[in-house]
Amino acid sequence: MNEANPAPIPEEEGLRLNRLDWGALALVALTLIVAPLSAGGFVNPFNSDLLSINDILGLPLVLTLVALASIVVIGREYQRPVAIGTLLGVRESALLLGLWGSVTLIFSPVRFACWNALFALWAALIVVGLAARLGRSVKGWSVLLGLLLLTGGIVSFLGIAEYYSMAMSQWRVFGTFINPDFLAGYLLLLIPLTLASFVALAKPPQRVGLGVLLIAQTFALFLTGSRAGIGALGGAVLLWILLMGWVRALKPNLKPIATALLLCLIGGVLGLGPVRNRVETGQGAGKGAVGAIQASANTQAHSGEFRKWTWRGTIEMAKSNPVFGTGIGSYEYAYPRYTQVAFTAHAHNAYLQWTAEVGLVGVLLLFLPIASLCAFSLHILRARRQESMQGEPAESFGAFSEPYVLLAGFFASLTATLLHCFIDSDWFVVANAVTLSAIVGLMLAMARYLAPLATTAPAPLPKAGLLLGLPIALVLIWQGMSLVNYRSALSAGGAMLQTQHPQAALNDFLSASSALPREPEAYLKQAMIYAGTERPQEAEAALQRAVGVAPSGRSYYRLAQFYVQQKQLDKAINAFEESRKREPRNVQNLRALAECYREAAHKDDAKRIYELVTDLEQGVYGRVRAMPEMIEAEFAFAHIGLGDLSAEAKQREEAAKEYYAAVKVFGEFWHNRASGYYGSLSPDKRAKWVEKYEYALKQWNEMLKQWSIEYLKEAHQASPPNPRLSDYALRKKSDWNDFDLAVKRLSEFLGEKATEPASSETGGSP
């Protein structure tokens, strides 16, 4: 046989893994460990000032390990191809999905935000293929599944340790993730598999370790406080039990099933603290049991309302971009154009977010392989049901005497994540995407192993696919290395800034922009240093580069701020307006635009923009907030601006009303000043808010005084004069300059209660 075209290895022989296969499997296994421990966030970190070691290394490590594993497999398959069974539609739709993600990037209006997400998608699809390919060996398959479950246990124990270290019964654990709900999404992928593995194991002594993992994982899930996660787990377990009953595996395994469910119950009871406190405590502490429950219910209703409006905005985003979407991974930057409420980095619904980012074609390509795999697996379970009806014993699968119970567990795992993704964007977290991909690949390998030979057509990997995979792997390695250099330089620059070393920070930021020229953050940091060191030309050039690579609302806002500092108000207004086009409901930008118009003596434009902000306050934007106590201070600034404009126009009544509206906003802030949100504000911002609060109080008092006196005078001088008002006003004319008496007389005349600046309604003066 010609060495250039070696014959494929027969399927029976190909089931065994050689050294290269085990090397690739070790890299995949390391990926499954690294991802949940270091990549529990989105592809683009929220904070760019001081990045954690996980932000710097998490995604790059995943990309690099997956790429190296694929290179090993490509070399092994090219040297000696292995013919194993394939599943119709899975490979083709996965390839098309990766290609479609690239197409959406080309048509994206915020392309700069899509690159990392595209590479993460490629890595996830490669993990599916690697797990399915290397899982042809029962030993290799078992190693990957065991490491998945063991890593889930490690993450769970870290979450449990976090809970007890906080010494707060209401604390919701994050573990290695950026959000408790995303940790819940990760655990939902693993708990059904741990449960099914516990039941499917052949020897009871082997179940001890899995029992410990089952308790820990369920314990950690409940500690996240995710009620939706708990509900999704309940639905998944119910489906698993129904499937086992359908394949006639329920009665023979009643004892291990009951034991497994009892272990889950023990874990749930141990972790009830955060869930119980969300109901019993919440914001209702000190109000009694009924008041506490009602307050907590109101808070959750508020959160649910925020989700609903976020979904509406995401639907509008998807409807406006039905074919190509806005680009994979673009939600954070594309969604603000469509939002009706405050900013959020994800849609709280994976299906809506995916549709908005990649269009309807992308949705079809995502669910087609999953649907094909599930249909194929159901066919296998159906065949097993018929065999059990004829009394045939179940086929063993390595250490598992009940592999069909485990296959049903894979169904339960997919069900759990599918349910939870209705209220969270789990799949956009790197760790969850990698874990889900591995589970899909292992489910495919197991289904292929258990399926009758007639249902699969053994075939080696095509040479064209191998040739395509090599450059993709090299690109992933390059991206991983570039990301490490970029993020480490960016973080080092932030550290230098904190220690007052601007030149060293500038050098780091220049290195960052050299590592990844398409990322805007390094340019924005450079501009900040240039502006602070009186180098305006370099600052403007850096800002223009940021706008060039990332024409986002944030980039234009920073450019506008620079022009304001340079007193180039026309350029500043244009930049603010560009930012407004991309983020029409960004109240920070709107307030800055109004102030710029006002400084440029465009009072009508300033008033129009201020009124847009106050309209948002009265609308859905102001009423529906993710956290009810988190009110926008920009509303108060807008009212102060309108009050100043009215005062300048001698419209004292309108000015008094606007200043009072500002006092009410700041009063709510003052009432909640001890909360976690306001405690996280910088000292400068808190001082500015207090300063503006005092200013609003002073101006309100002054406008109310002048308006009251003028009102009394005008009413007294009216023809014919009002007898009641004349009686009040003429008792002592000199008292017209007495503010307290003027307010009292006006209030009596209007039939209202006397109003004082430091009333309980406003929360008191600072």
pLDDT digit string, tens, across residues 529-560? 999 989 999 999 999 999 999 999 999 999 99
Given a cut of 60, is residue 730 above it in pLDDT? no
Given a cut of 90, is residue 526 above it in pLDDT? yes
Report which of 181, 87, 67, 92 is spatially closest to residue 132, judged by C-alpha positions.
Answer: 87
| Predicted pLDDT of residue 284 | 42
| Predicted pLDDT of residue 297 | 43
Chain-centroid distance, C-alpha 530: 33
Structure-token pair, residue 100: 């479609």
Give the Cα separation of 273 and 281 in Å (integer).
11
- Three-class secondary structure of residue 458 per DSSP: strand
- Over residues 362-409, the pLDDT tens digits come to 999 999 999 999 999 999 999 888 887 777 777 788 888 889 999 999
Given a cut of 90, is residue 10 above it in pLDDT? no
| Predicted pLDDT of residue 680 | 65
Tell which wins on pLDDT, 394 or 663. Answer: 663
Q: How wide is the angle at C-alpha 160 spanned by C-alphas 156 and 162, nearest 5°? A: 115
Arithmetic mean of pLDDT, 314-325: 96
Q: H-helix or E-strand containing 701?
A: helix 683-716
Q: H-helix or E-strand containing 585?
A: none
Report which of 196, 147, 138 is spatially closest to residue 446, judged by C-alpha positions.
Answer: 138
pLDDT category at 762 given cuts 50, 70, 90 is: very low
Amino acid type, 378: L
Structure-token pair, residue 338: 């469509």
Give the Cα separation of 594 and 576 in Å (integer).
9
| Predicted pLDDT of residue 304 | 78
pLDDT category at 81 given cuts 50, 70, 90 is: confident
- Over residues 471-510, the pLDDT tens digits come to 999 999 999 999 999 999 999 999 999 888 999 999 999 9
Tell which wins on pLDDT, 540 or 762. Answer: 540
pLDDT category at 676 given cuts 50, 70, 90 is: low
Give the Cα separation of 263 and 148 in Å (integer).
19
Instruction: Give yes or no for a cis peptide into 720 (omega within 30° of 0).
Output: yes
- Over residues 253-271, the pLDDT tens digits come to 999 999 999 999 999 999 9
Instruction: Give yes or no for a cis peptide into 369 (omega within 30° of 0).
Output: no
Going 288 to 291 to 292 to 293, the CA torsion angle's sign is: positive
Q: Could you count the other beta carbons within 10 Å of the beta carbon of residue 11?
A: 16
pLDDT category at 239 given cuts 50, 70, 90 is: very high
| Predicted pLDDT of residue 1 | 41
- Over residues 566-616, the pLDDT tens digits come to 999 999 999 999 999 999 999 999 999 999 999 999 999 999 999 999 999
Given a cut of 50, is residue 290 above it in pLDDT? no
